[in-house]
Each structure stands twice: as structure tokens, then as C-alpha cells.
């Protein structure tokens, strides 16, 4: 599919109480490993045909062999009948070998590379300490057209946590794009008006994902009547006007902004701790959450392009041909999801959502 291809575009049909969409993809998700994997993978595979799977396991996914093995574990964790394609990513380190990335990309194992500034977020200790150290890697990515996915925050403890994304744009991403103007970049999980403007002003090789939760919460959600660990993620939610800029970007119809949930489950115990983990588990009702936001913005007719078209066009992958449905039917999101010994609190826990995803063949 080319960027210009508009022939295969049945518009989302909102026939009153049913919303029918081309099946969406999730362009940024954490599926984890071990016991969490079967819970997380199934919930993502219910709603999405494909997903860009983050490589921040312990140890991280840095080789094509590790990515293939992880992909097999993901597929093995799914119940029979789920039609789901995990798109694998390589975790960049200071030492990563550009040949390994290129051969993994050419072999169809890696779809993209992920840049975690060292210690910026969950399981990023092995990340890149200085982008100056991976110049050869960036040059290679630019040459072969392999996308670079970016956690865009500086890590310096002197910099206020609410400013880390904006300062990353100025001090890291702008110089990288000056040095490598053809590099394909996705600025992941954007949280600021600054990022919206940066991506809008950049060339067509630069895009961004927007999460369901950053479209709904602002920074006050973390302190609503007490400390709220389940509203804590990285980058942290910002002021209300930033949330509004994200909403406007998501419903704008610009192909530079597309769906990436950053669904990032941690156990209830690890979240509700003196040093709680960052991450919001939005996979269980991801599409319902986006639909609610788009409806509030009077833009339900723009949801399909954001969820199902702009991502594959950026990645130059075919659009999905099957369709999914959401029904206007109120649902109460559970307080906690349990599987074996595992307890995980989902995004929207205890809230009512207006839409409900129809799980074809499974409900
Ligand atoms: C993610 C995680 O838990 O892996 N956490 C988060 O708050 N978003 C890491 C990340 O995407 O930065
Ligand atoms: Zn991140
Ligand atoms: Zn993430």
C-alpha cells in the first residue's frame, strides 16, 4: 500500500448503536513473558490483528534469534483460533551490531528498532547511554529504511520529570534528525503539545503513537484524593492543555498520528508499592477507550483511519481486510483481572464505558 492509496477505504460505519471498523493494529504494546504473557497476549490479540511488540524483557531482546524465540512464545501463549501477528522489535544498546539489525530486518524477523535512553523507563537499564555511541546504527537504519521507535525522554535527574519529553525533542531528537534526515522515526506514546508540534513540523518520515490513557488522563489523575499508582506511567501524563493537544492530533485526520496503546501490565503488587512500577494496562478495553474519546471529540468517523490505516501506511504494510465491531452497550470494567496467582488492575478499573468490543467467535 502506498501513502496515496485511497481506493480500499470503506469508511467506518456507525449505524446507530454499532460501529464497524477495519480491524485495527496496536503499534506499541508490552506483552511481557512468563505468566503475564498469556494474559496480555490474549487480550491484545482479541482486538488487534497485529502489534508492535516492545523488546524490554529481562534480558532485553537484542538479537534476531531472541526475537524469533519470543515471537514463538507469544504465539504459543494464545488460545487456538486467534489470528494475530506479533511484529518484533530490537532493543538498542551501546554495543548493538548494525549487521545483526540489518540481517534480522531483511529476514523479516525485526520490524523496527527501539531506542530506550538508559534508565528512562521500565527495564531500560541496558538502553543507550548516549546517541552519539550509536551513530553507525542510525546511519544503517536510515539506509535500509528500518524504523526507529523512540522513548522520548531525557534521563538526567536534574531535569523536572514533566519537562523530560520536551527537552528530549530539542537536545536529542532534533539533532538526530538533522544528522539523519531520512531516518524513519516513531515518537512513541507522546504526552505533550510540544511533541504534537514537533511531529507536525517534521517530514513524512516522522510519526507518533498516542495511547488511550494519555487521551483521557492528565497529571491530576495520579493525585486524585490520594496517590493513584494505576495512573502512573512513563512518560507521565501532563497538564490538561497537553491532553487536549493530543486529542486534537488524534482526531485531526493527520496520518502522522496513529494508535499505540503502550499497554504495559505490572502486577497489582508491583504497582501498589512504595516504589511502584510505571505502566498502565489498557489492553482489556483499549478500543472502547479510544472510541469514547473520539466520540467525545465528535469524531467517531475518524477512529478507523487512526486505528487501522495510518499505522500500516507508515510501516508500509498491507491494511487488514477483516472487520471488527463495537456496540453501544455500557460495560463495567473489572477492578482486577486474575489468572492463577496473578492479579492485574486494568485501565478504567471500576468505571463504566459506553462501548463494548464484540469478540467474534469467542463471546
Ligand atoms: C513501560 C513498561 O512498563 O514496560 N512503562 C510505561 O510506563 N510506559 C515502558 C515504556 O513504554 O516506557
Ligand atoms: Zn516508553
Ligand atoms: Zn511502552
> Could you tell me the pLDDT band of residue 167, with boundaries at 50, 70 and 90?
very high
Per-residue model confidence as pLDDT tens digits over 88-118? 999 999 999 999 999 999 999 999 999 999 9
**164 CB within 6 A, ligand 1:** no
Tell me the mean pLDDT in the region 69-88.
97
Residue % of the chain over a pLDDT of 70: 95
Shortest-distance atom of ligand 1 to CA 123: 4
> Could you tell me the pLDDT band of residue 4, with boundaries at 50, 70 and 90?
very low
Q: Which three cell numbers stand for residue 250?
A: 488524534
Ligand 3 centroid to 199 CA: how many Å?
A: 18
Nearest CA residue ID for atom 11, ligand 1: 262
- For residue 140, give the nearest of 96, 173, 175 by alpha carbon: 96
Tell me the mean pLDDT in the region 276-293.
98
Q: Which residues are 51's β-sheet partners? A: 26, 86
What local confidence, expressed as pLDDT, does residue 15 receive?
58
Q: At what angle do helices 286-296 and 34-47 cross, to 10 degrees?
A: 50
**209 CB within 6 A, ligand 1:** no
Burial class (CB in 10 A: 0-12, 13-18, 19+), 108: exposed
Strand extents, DSSP E, the chain:
13-15, 18-22, 26-29, 50-53, 85-91, 110-115, 148-150, 185-187, 206-210, 257-259, 323-332, 337-339, 342-344, 352-357
Taking the C-alpha atoms of residue 256 and residue 333, their distance in angstroms, rounded to an integer, is 31
What local confidence, expressed as pLDDT, does residue 3 receive?
39
Helix (H, G, I), strand (E, B) or coil at 99: helix
**Average confidence score pLDDT of the chain:** 95
Does the active-site annotation cover 5?
Answer: no
Per-residue model confidence as pLDDT tens digits over 309-345? 999 999 999 999 999 999 999 999 999 999 999 999 9
Taking the C-alpha atoms of residue 91 and residue 99, their distance in angstroms, rounded to an integer, is 14
Helix (H, G, I), strand (E, B) or coil at 50: strand
What local confidence, expressed as pLDDT, does residue 16 receive?
74
What local confidence, expressed as pLDDT, does residue 20 receive?
96
Cis bond before residue 235 (omega within 30° of 0) = yes
Tell me the mean pLDDT in the region 246-255.
98
Per-residue model confidence as pLDDT tens digits over 47-56? 999 999 999 9
pTM for the full predicted model: 0.95
Ligand 3 centroid to 244 CA: how many Å?
A: 21
Per-residue model confidence as pLDDT tens digits over 141-157? 999 999 999 999 999 99
**153 CB within 6 A, ligand 1:** no
Taking the C-alpha atoms of residue 22 and residue 9, their distance in angstroms, rounded to an integer, is 9
pLDDT exceeds cutoff 50 at 363:
no
Q: At what angle do helices 98-106 and 135-144 cross, to 10 degrees?
A: 20
What domains does the chain contain, in order, with CATH numbers?
24-322 (3.20.20.140)
**214 CB within 6 A, ligand 1:** no
Taking the C-alpha atoms of residue 316 and residue 5, their distance in angstroms, rounded to an integer, is 11
What local confidence, expressed as pLDDT, does residue 228 receive?
98
Q: Is the dihedral of CA 118, 342, 361, 307 positive or negative?
A: negative
The label of the residue with cell 505533550 reads 192
pLDDT exceeds cutoff 90 at 359:
no
Q: In the Cβ-directed half-sphere of 343, how many Cα atoms lie within 13 Å?
A: 10
pLDDT exceeds cutoff 70 at 196:
yes
Amino acid at each position: 500500500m502506498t501513502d496515496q492509496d485511497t481506493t480500499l477505504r470503506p469508511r467506518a460505519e456507525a449505524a446507530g448503536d454499532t460501529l464497524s471498523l477495519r480491524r485495527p493494529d496496536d503499534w506499541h504494546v508490552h506483552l511481557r513473558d512468563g505468566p503475564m504473557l498469556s494474559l496480555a497476549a490474549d487480550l491484545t490479540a482479541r482486538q488487534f490483528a497485529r502489534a508492535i511488540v516492545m523488546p524490554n524483557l529481562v534480558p532485553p531482546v537484542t538479537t534476531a534469534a531472541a526475537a524469533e524465540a519470543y515471537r514463538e512464545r507469544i504465539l504459543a501463549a494464545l488460545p487456538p483460533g486467534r489470528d494475530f501477528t506479533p511484529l518484533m522489535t530490537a532493543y538498542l544498546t551501546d554495543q548493538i551490531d548494525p549487521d545483526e539489525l540489518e540481517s534480522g530486518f531483511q529476514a523479516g524477523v525485526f520490524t523496527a528498532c527501539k531506542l530506550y535512553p538508559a534508565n528512562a523507563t521500565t527495564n531500560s537499564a541496558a538502553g543507550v547511554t548516549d546517541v552519539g555511541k550509536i551513530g553507525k546504527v542510525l546511519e544503517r537504519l536510515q539506509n535500509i529504511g528500518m524504523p526507529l521507535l523512540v522513548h522520548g525522554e531525557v534521563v538526567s535527574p536534574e531535569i523536572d520529570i514533566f519537562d523530560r519529553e520536551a527537552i528530549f525533542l530539542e537536545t536529542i531528537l532534533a539533532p538526530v534528525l538533522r544528522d539523519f534526515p531520512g531516518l524513519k522515526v516513531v515518537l512513541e506514546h507522546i504526552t505533550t503539545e510540544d511533541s504534537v508540534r514537533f511531529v507536525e513540523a517534521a517530514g513524512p518520515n516522522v510519526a507518533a503513537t498516542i495511547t488511550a490513557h494519555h487521551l483521557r488522563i492528565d497529571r491530576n489523575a495520579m493525585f486524585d484524593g490520594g496517590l493513584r499508582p494505576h495512573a502512573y506511567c512513563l512518560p507521565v501524563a501532563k497538564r490538561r492543555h497537553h491532553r487536549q493537544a493530543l486529542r486534537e492530533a488524534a482526531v485531526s485526520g493527520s496520518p502522522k498520528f496513529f494508535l499505540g496503546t503502550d499497554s504495559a501490565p505490572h502486577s497489582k503488587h508491583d504497582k501498589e508499592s512504595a516504589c511502584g512500577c510505571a505502566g498502565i494496562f489498557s489492553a482489556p478495553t483499549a478500543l472502547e477507550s479510544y472510541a469514547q474519546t473520539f466520540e467525545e471529540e465528535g469524531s467517531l468517523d475518524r477512529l478507523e483511519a487512526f486505528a487501522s490505516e495510518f499505522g500500516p501506511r507508515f510501516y508500509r504494510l498491507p491494511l487488514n481486510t477483516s472487520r471488527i465491531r463495537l456496540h453501544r452497550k455500557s460495560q463495567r470494567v473489572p477492578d482486577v483481572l486474575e489468572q492463577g496467582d496473578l492479579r492485574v488492575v486494568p485501565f478504567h478499573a471500576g468505571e463504566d464505558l459506553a462501548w463494548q468490543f464484540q469478540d467474534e467467535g469467542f463471546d
